[in-house]
């Protein structure tokens, strides 16, 4: 049994519009994924594909009008969706930790960073303050903050973006979580700093044997830092598998065109690969959601495509996907952070 097992998760936005009509935006549809300790899952997709919403649904961080209307989230043997807010609070920040996109706006501007680290440890484990303080120092060392004794007295505004992100990661690690969710952890950071933060995340996942989920729109990050990948489109996972399988042998036309639009594979002069707009979430088409943008569309695409197995652990939601008989080359030359 995997540490995290999400099955058929559906999150919809349900509200009444100005004419008092009931509207329903189907933002997440039938999300199923599982995650084991020591592995990093990358979730990629374009804006509005439901990447962050997936993370928020798992953690129970949704606010109305967003509502989970179906599915289960099994974490460590418990169904998170049936827990009361108090029970959920005990898990969040302790067993499940989250690192969000904008580090500076996620820190309390009126509390020194050392105290913020101590606070999150106290909230979950109690015990003497001195233990929490020692732990805070330990974590600041673990995430590579230079001069931690001095820095724990620093205010959030005194930190650079990269340092603030390190503090946030330290905070996430304070209670030694089993699952670390990083939502666009390096967007807004410079590329040289991005490399530092991602290297750090990768080392920590191995060191603490955590399961980790990295949400990003950068295919390069997934290619080099994740073990598995789930590609999202219009609130659905349309392809998932190991990074090598999906990136080198993409079976879904959308994944193929997404990969073909990366700058290094893009060939200016040929027509753009993905035309059109993502479907309207209020009025999803029947059948395959990417039918309007797909070059291989046929009549069968008007019916809901099944998840087809391409190779061991690699599946795609497309009628036209064919099982792959040749074995994908293993990441032989891969450099580990």
Partner 1 sequence: MADVILSAKNLVKRFPTGKANSFVNAVNGVDLEIKRGQVLGMVGESGSGKSTIGRTILRLTDPTSGQIHFDGKDITDLPSNKIRPLRKDMQMVFQDPWSALNPRMKIGDLIAEPLKIHYKMSRSECADRAEALAKRVSLSTDFLTRTPNALSGGQLQRVCIARAIATNPKLIILDEPTSSLDLSVRAGILELLQEIRDETQAGFLFISHDLGTIKLISDQIAVLYLGHIVEQLPKDKLFDAPSHPYSQALLSAHLPSDPNEKLNKLTLTGEIPSPIDLPSGCAFHTRCPVAVDDCQTSVPMSEKISNGHFASCSQIAHGNNIIQRANKI
State the Cα–Cα distance between residues 169 and 180, nearest whole angstrom: 9
What spatial distance separates the first Cα and last Cα of the chain, rounded to whole Å?
28
Q: CB–CB of 319/300 below 8 Å?
A: yes
Residue pointed to by tokens 């990050």: 221
Nearer to partner 1, 7 or 187 (CB): 187
Nearer to partner 1, 10 or 217 (CB): 217
| Min CB(333)–partner 1 separation in Å | 5
Nearer to partner 1, 57 or 290 (CB): 290
| Min CB(184)–partner 1 separation in Å | 14
Nearer to partner 1, 97 or 244 (CB): 244
- Identify the H or E element spanning 270: none
Number of alpha helices (DSSP H) and beta strands (DSSP E) in the chain: 11, 12
Residue pointed to by tokens 């059109």: 276
| Min CB(56)–partner 1 separation in Å | 20
| Min CB(163)–partner 1 separation in Å | 8
Closest Cα partner for 234 from 30, 77, 57, 85?
A: 30
| Min CB(69)–partner 1 separation in Å | 27
Binding stretches for partner 1 (CB under 8 A): 46-47, 160-163, 190-196, 199, 217-221, 223-224, 243-244, 247-248, 257-259, 261-266, 268-269, 272-275, 277, 329, 331-335
Nearer to partner 1, 96 or 229 (CB): 229
| Min CB(187)–partner 1 separation in Å | 10
Nearer to partner 1, 65 or 275 (CB): 275
Closest Cα partner for 55 from 316, 45, 257, 199?
A: 45
Nearer to partner 1, 75 or 225 (CB): 225
Return the SS3 of 96: strand
| Min CB(145)–partner 1 separation in Å | 12
Angle formed by the axes of helices 129-142 and 161-173, nearest 10°: 130
Closest Cα partner for 254 from 228, 229, 232?
A: 232
CA 317, distance to chain mean position in Å, is: 20
Angstrom CA distances, 57 to 60, 216, 237, 290, stand at: 5, 17, 15, 23
């Amino acid at each position: 049994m995997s540490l995290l097992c999400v099955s058929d998760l559906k999150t919809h936005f349900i509200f009444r519009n100005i004419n008092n009509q009931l509207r329903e935006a189907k933002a997440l549809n039938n999300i199923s994924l599982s995650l084991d300790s020591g592995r990093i899952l990358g979730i990629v997709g374009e804006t509005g594909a439901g990447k962050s919403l997936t993370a928020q649904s798992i953690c129970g961080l949704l606010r109305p009008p967003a509502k989970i209307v179906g599915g289960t989230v099994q974490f460590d043997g418990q169904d998170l969706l049936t827990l009361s807010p108090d029970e959920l609070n005990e898990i969040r920040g302790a067993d499940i930790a989250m690192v969000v996109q904008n580090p500076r706006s996620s820190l309390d501007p009126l509390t020194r960073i050392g105290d913020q680290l101590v606070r999150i440890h106290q909230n979950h484990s109690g015990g003497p303050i001195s233990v929490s303080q020692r732990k805070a120092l330990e974590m600041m060392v673990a995430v590579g903050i230079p001069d931690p004794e001095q820095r724990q007295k620093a205010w959030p505004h005194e930190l650079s973006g990269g340092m603030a992100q390190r503090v946030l990661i330290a905070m996430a690690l304070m209670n030694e979580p089993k699952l670390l969710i990083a939502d666009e952890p390096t967007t807004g950071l410079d590329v040289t700093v991005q490399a530092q933060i991602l290297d750090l995340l990768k080392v920590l996942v191995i060191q603490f044997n955590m399961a980790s989920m990295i949400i990003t729109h950068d295919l390069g990050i997934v290619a080099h830092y994740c073990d598995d990948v789930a590609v999202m489109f219009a609130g659905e996972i349309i392809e998932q598998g190991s990074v090598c399988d999906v990136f080198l042998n993409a079976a879904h036309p959308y994944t193929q065109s997404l990969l073909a639009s990366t700058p290094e594979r893009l060939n200016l002069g040929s027509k753009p690969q993905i035309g059109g707009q993502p479907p309207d979430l209020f009025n999803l088409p029947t059948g395959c959601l990417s039918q309007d943008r797909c070059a291989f569309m046929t009549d069968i695409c008007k019916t809901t495509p099944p998840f087809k197995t391409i190779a061991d652990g690699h599946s795609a939601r497309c009628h036209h996907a064919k099982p792959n008989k040749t074995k994908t080359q293993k990441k032989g030359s891969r450099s580990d952070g």
